[in-house]
């Protein structure tokens, strides 16, 4: 299997540019990095002296929830994803903020999830709110039935209360306290999991009787861990990112509209869906990845294989207790409160103090210090975007690294 370039479907020109650069524009000989000036390869502390409980990295923005329940976002606001009523400053012709802005309203939050063009959050009573979605044709991802974008939080239209939430490309999903999964938004690949490819402007229940402990949405795929520890995925399987068996690359997009069990008879502590790859940590602490690899090396297995359709071990043999996946990179947390990352490092997105035109196909240590772990490592204590990442340190501050073109590192 050899690397190749391919179209990105619904991805905008701006997103395509960043992904293409992160993949070295499919040119393995490109050893110079003319974009290094926009990179922050060594983790920096986000501005302000707040203590944070949750953090999430979207494609070009980042968001976090303080220990007191306040929501804060920073970075690009091109799609209204920062959640403020007034227009922030501008970064390179795009509305943005290089420092955290308080999300509009007086909502008390317990969780937050940043996606490509939208952000969603949960309140202390389990209500879901979303904002953003300013890209034409994907406004339905807010779940409020209006199918329009919003610069400030709007209530997701459902009577359900939730314990977890995740945001992908044009869809979002959430879990009730009992483990029922509901999804809303775009559904062109079956990523809502209800047996159809019809989009929904309000939450719909994922097919079947499965109950889940955690859930993760990518651009067009959704994966979740059942209460039994078995992993399931649904949606796009173009590069084998569902992990249900080796598949040839399919430019039209292989897809599953209902949950399918991940191969390997494994029991998972967490699964994290990236752009077109997926990684997970088993209950025994082993990290495995599957899906797209190409030049970026986001599977972390030390090879240049283009893709794989079943879980394979990450190189290095370390034990991990949490994992997060971005567009073309992955980071995992060790019981010793260290982060190890692999994949694209074009903009310093691995946090190891370097920028590299070629992907790093095995774990390297993030040099940001000591990061919060344990149960927190599996619930938005770290996140990766298109080419940047953020994580909560053991002292409660947030550090970010990587591409800072739109202020997504929040330190300026």
What CATH number is associated with residue 124?
Answer: 2.130.10.30
Residue 20 domain-assigned (yes or no): no
Nearest to 115 by CA among 171, 164, 161: 171
Residue 68 domain-assigned (yes or no): yes
Residue 202 pLDDT = 96
- List residues bridging with 75 in a β-sheet: 61, 97
Residue 309 pLDDT = 95
Residue 370 domain-assigned (yes or no): yes
Q: Domain range for residue 130?
A: 46-403
Residue 5 pLDDT = 33
Q: What is the pTM of this model?
A: 0.92
SS3 assignment, position 268? strand
Residue 4 domain-assigned (yes or no): no
Residue 280 pLDDT = 97
Residue 32 domain-assigned (yes or no): no
Residue 3 domain-assigned (yes or no): no
Residue 374 pLDDT = 66
Q: DSSP class of residue 40?
A: E
**Residue 225: other Cβ atoms inside 10 A:** 24
Q: Chunked in runs of 10, what are the mean pLDDT values of the chain (412 residues)?
A: 34 50 41 68 96 96 97 95 88 88 96 96 98 74 90 96 96 97 96 96 97 96 98 96 87 86 97 96 97 93 94 97 96 96 96 93 97 73 96 97 96 87
Nearest to 200 by CA among 130, 136, 254, 143: 143
Residue 141 pLDDT = 83
Residue 6 domain-assigned (yes or no): no
**What's the total number of domains in the chain?**
1
State the Cα torsion 130-133-137-138 to the nearest 10°. -50
d(CA 325, CA 397): 21
Residue 34 pLDDT = 57
Residue 245 domain-assigned (yes or no): yes
The 3-class SS string of 302-314 reads CCCCCEEEEEEEC
């Amino acid at each position: 299997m050899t690397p190749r370039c391919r179209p990105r479907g619904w991805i905008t020109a701006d997103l395509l540019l960043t992904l293409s650069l992160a993949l070295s524009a499919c040119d393995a000989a490109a050893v110079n990095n003319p974009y290094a000036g926009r990179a922050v390869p060594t983790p920096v502390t986000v501005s302000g002296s707040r203590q944070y409980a949750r953090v999430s990295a979207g494609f070009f923005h980042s968001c976090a929830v303080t220990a007191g329940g306040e929501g804060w976002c920073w970075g690009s606001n091109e799609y209204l994803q920062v959640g403020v009523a007034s227009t922030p400053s501008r970064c390179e012709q795009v509305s943005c903020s290089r420092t955290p802005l308080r999300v509009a309203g007086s909502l008390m939050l317990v969780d937050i999830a940043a996606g490509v063009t939208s952000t969603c959050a949960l309140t202390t009573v389990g209500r879901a709110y979303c904002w953003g979605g300013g890209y034409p044709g994907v406004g339905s991802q807010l779940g409020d039935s209006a199918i329009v974008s919003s610069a400030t939080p709007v209530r997701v239209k459902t009577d359900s209360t939730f314990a977890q939430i995740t945001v992908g490309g044009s869809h979002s999903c959430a879990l009730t306290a009992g483990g029922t999964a509901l999804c809303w938004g775009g559904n062109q690949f079956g990523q809502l999991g209800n047996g159809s490819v019809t989009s929904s402007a309000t939450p719909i229940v994922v097919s079947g009787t499965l109950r889940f402990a955690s859930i993760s949405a990518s651009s067009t795929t959704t994966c979740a861990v059942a209460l039994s520890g078995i992993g399931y995925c649904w949606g796009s399987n173009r590069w084998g990112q569902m992990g249900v068996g080796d598949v040839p690359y399919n430019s039209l997009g292989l897809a599953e509209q209902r949950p399918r069990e991940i191969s390997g008879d494994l029991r998972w502590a967490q699964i994290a869906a990236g752009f077109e790859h997926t990684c997970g940590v088993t209950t025994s602490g082993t990290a495995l990845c599957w899906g797209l690899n190409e030049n970026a090396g986001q599977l972390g297995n030390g090879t240049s294989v283009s893709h794989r359709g079943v879980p394979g071990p990450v190189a290095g043999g370390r034990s991990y207790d949490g994992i997060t996946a971005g567009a073309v990179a992955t980071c995992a947390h060790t019981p010793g409160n260290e982060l190890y990352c692999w994949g694209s490092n074009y903009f310093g997105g691995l946090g190891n103090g370097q920028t590299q035109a070629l992907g790093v196909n095995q774990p390297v240590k993030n040099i940001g210090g000591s990061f919060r772990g344990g149960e927190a490592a599996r619930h938005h204590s770290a996140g990766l975007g298109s080419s940047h990442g953020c994580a909560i340190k053991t002292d409660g501050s947030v550090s970010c690294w990587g591409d800072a073109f739109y202020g997504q590192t929040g330190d300026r």
